[in-house]
A and B are shown apart, each in its own frame.
Chain A
Amino acid sequence: MVSLSSFLFLSFVLFLTGLMLVLGRKSIIFVLIGLELILNAAALNFVAYSRFVTEKLDGHLFALFIIVIAAAEAAVALALAIRFYQLKETTHLDELSELKH
């Protein structure tokens, strides 16, 4: 019952949710939540293929690197969000339209 296509379906749902959050929400933190979901969908895909198609652990390693890089990127993105809030007093994305404050 548990086959490769069920995992691909689940990672597709995760990706779709993340994409809708990134495209459709107007607050910075929501966009970052969507970004985390997209990265997790990709990692789940890698691990599913590593389990069902090969016997090696390369997919696991790739997912590990994805987790680490996603954590680093979330830290920097949230620091930027805090700085943005310090400048503009809001987290609405429409205010993020000029290069110089």
Chain B
Amino acid sequence: MTDNMPQFFQELFHLETSDCLTFLFYFIGAFILVNIASVIGGLATYAERKISADMQLRIGPNRVGPYGLLQFLADGAKMLMKENIMPLMADRFLFNIAPMLCLVGIFATLAVLPISGNLTLAHLDVGVFYVVAISSLVGLGIFLGGYASNSKWSLLGGMRGASQIISYEIPVVISILSIVLLSGGTSFKTIVHHQGGLPHEWFVLHNPFTFIAFIVYFIGSLAEANRAPFDLPEAESELVSGYHTEYTGMKFAFFALAEYVEVFVLCGVGATLFLGGFNVPFGLDTFLSKTPFPLLAEVVQLGAFFTKTFALYYLVIVIRWTLPRLRVDQLMSLCWKYLTPIALFNLIGTAIWMVYFHDQSIVEIIKAAGSHAGGGH
């Protein structure tokens, strides 16, 4: 596998290396990725409406386009045409930059998202840290948006949202740390290489501690993205839509898009860390990369990554329309009294497992015990 994306394309098209070409590849790659992420965010709104309709025995959007697929474009056009209202006593500077902070905080994490072996924009060695660090800008954007609206509902929603995000970062990061322990590096490439294609080679089934870590990570990422049942900061019946009450038009669209893309990024990171990432079962990608069409290997890896991510996304949507909302004190006690001790226990358990069983997964231990018992060599 080549080192980075421009090198892969330069070898593919037999071009000579130059700084200008590298910059061009990065620019075009980033542009395409941002657009694809926005389309995924828009389609996620459509998917949510369709899935919730399915669960509630209704039909959902089916007017705009075939099966209502273009509904998100109609919503986007509607938001573009809305009037941009700013409250009179609002803080102009902070009111304007809060949605931008939310958006930048999420779209900057797309650069390290491991969508495929050679098409990832940047194989950073501190990839996992980078995602956690940059996505903490979202909490800042929520708080500033809540404060700058100069309304008590917005301030309450903003404070609750920011405290929820910074509290739930802790069990999420500790769960991620137990995976980093297992794979020996914070780079996404290392983590994916330590897993295989088939489910028994994934980290989620490696040992019972990582299984619990996956559940803790999933619950924590639901709370990070302000998704139900943790969506108190933006609940309609509690806080009149919380921190984005006073936002209209494109700024509100930024907040909403940032939330949907954040769920996508967190599901993608979860699929990479726990479900094997872009690994394809039965070694199909290594087989395809030796044929005269190495791009097919990338396409197959993309398919694997997106299948796993969208499966997790479906789970997130189903959970939203199934469970009732948590109160703010229940939310905080869930984080500090339950999830954080469980995550710490997982970390220590994973470390002990690594020392005692020498990094073998449960399946490998059973296989070794089987071959040892059946006349092993």
- Chains A and B touch each other in the complex, with CB atoms below 8 Å apart: no
Question: Which residues of B come within 8 Å of A, CB atoms?
Answer: none
